[in-house]
Chain A
């Protein structure tokens, strides 16, 4: 197949050729970035979370009297543990993906409070049995001792008076890259510090807190004795028994203290709700992609049909002097391939530019390089598919057309 005559013919149709190239370029650029955004959302929706998601329920109680909280909470927890099927229960100040969060800036030394890069992290606190109730996975070190729970009161500054902490793997790597975190100190301000006694597999924060996906695992866990404010009961059971256990737990708590507002949710439900926005966004983006590709294909079909119509006589002449149907088919396919290639090259540059702009103005990561060839191939295929119909029609032009008219 010779490319020379195709290029010569395209030169006669500069504007339509240019339009196809531009359309493919724009489609390629938008496609790259949209598919990338879809991919990011999907990986966000499926972020791993090292707790027993299937077996955990969270029950929020509102309206406990602060004066009697340190007695009411253990009473409630005892009642919950007696419900058949419950394997563990504890009170938490907040829970993963719950949107309500306690956060603080931390550092590795007393002076790092005002450092620009001191990370803002989530501070989980729980009463005795917390790690078992939520199903955390210990990687290094230990969880807290009974004395550490009992000796830790919630202070005026909403920090526990204890001096031990468990951190997530991500936070440990962020604070002490390449070192073991055990025995190191986490500083909050210049006064308070906590010694790391354990490292757990990554647990999600209550929310992204503006920090984006990279900060989503920055969390620490502190022991605390029951107090007002620590009023999310986390109840664990076998996944099959979970719904019944949740119903029973809510009923029991309502019976125990009628003036308190009780709200229970299974963790899977909490997770679904948290990512509902992202999920609907994924569907919308997919829809936009599909429709945009369809519109681009329509454009290619329309313009190629027009070309075929215009060149009927030339095609007839070529057939008359010996070109086969396959030759004609190939001619249009090659022509489309050339135009697509030009479009895709411009499109990749454009996609990269758009990505740079979005990175500057929105929290978006760099486009991985393989998105570019992938969307190039997608548009090549689309172009070939769109051109097939008109090209077949061209191949069917009988040689006799050459002898008609002038």
Chain B
């Protein structure tokens, strides 16, 4: 991230959103809204004094998953690039109560600007890579696991933060009271995944991160770990070996999806049918960790619509070909990488990112785009300008030329499906290599052959 931030050819636009995009491969026009961070990016040196002195503390629901706090002027996390803070206007004392301004007083470069407004930036790019990631599944949606109701039910993200040395608990794994070290910990796999009520697909990464959590929690607390899984999916280099290691370390693996968690005798009882034994079990533990699955970003469909790419029934961005072209999309010049396309682990996301970058570099290096030869063409003498073809085009390749009152096909965008040609009522549109004459001749030839064969019979 640091390298990307420093690179002379890379412009980072964080805290920004793409508002509009038009054009086609090689010539995309993008309009980006740079949201007002109330800090002058050019003046700020990222020293962090404002963050230190800010008197307003709020719960950090994003990076600390609600376990820790941040200031009203903050960086999302310590290693964030660029290291420029943002003022959360909803909790800042100056914006809510009209007093304070401590950050402006302490800033050595005078970078704080309370009057900053959203800024629109327009620029042109040749290609776009979408790597918008995922949202973790909201464990509150499964009421029988009691997340949010029973304090000692945690999500994997919360435990992840607790394990971090610089995290809210200083690296200690404790119950919600902040002191008690758990003696028994239950880890439940597939929370929100492989379940028709929530997401039917496998989130792929949870088995491995659950094993990692089991290993770390056990080594930090010495607790007995119960690991509830449906199928242990440890495909990947050295992954199965890690699973074997956990078994040797004494974690108890129970094959079954827990039905319910209930508080009993000061503990949390996990009810489950052990599929290996074929028996109902009740496992009392101090702490439950829910291994939440991955799901598409909440606004993934809006992003897909904006960039005119398709998404699958779950909402992940759809690739051009699931096996042979996994980072390209049906729209030339738009590429996808990582969890935006579907659940991916880190090595896969890195590989996809590199692949997408390489695909873009190929375009840049070549300097030209090979266009489809079978494209549609409008006979302007025939076109009556009814405009029926324009909404039929899946690639928005047809535009209406106002002053001449005719449609025109942008051959750089046309992929040659011919839907417009099948639609045109005045026969003005024609698809090269599949013209009406060619198809008619083919049909007549086929009919002729069949009639000739009939005579023989």
Answer whether A and B are interacting partners: no
Q: List the interface of chain B (C-beta within 8 A of A).
A: none
Q: List the interface of chain A (C-beta within 8 A of B).
A: none
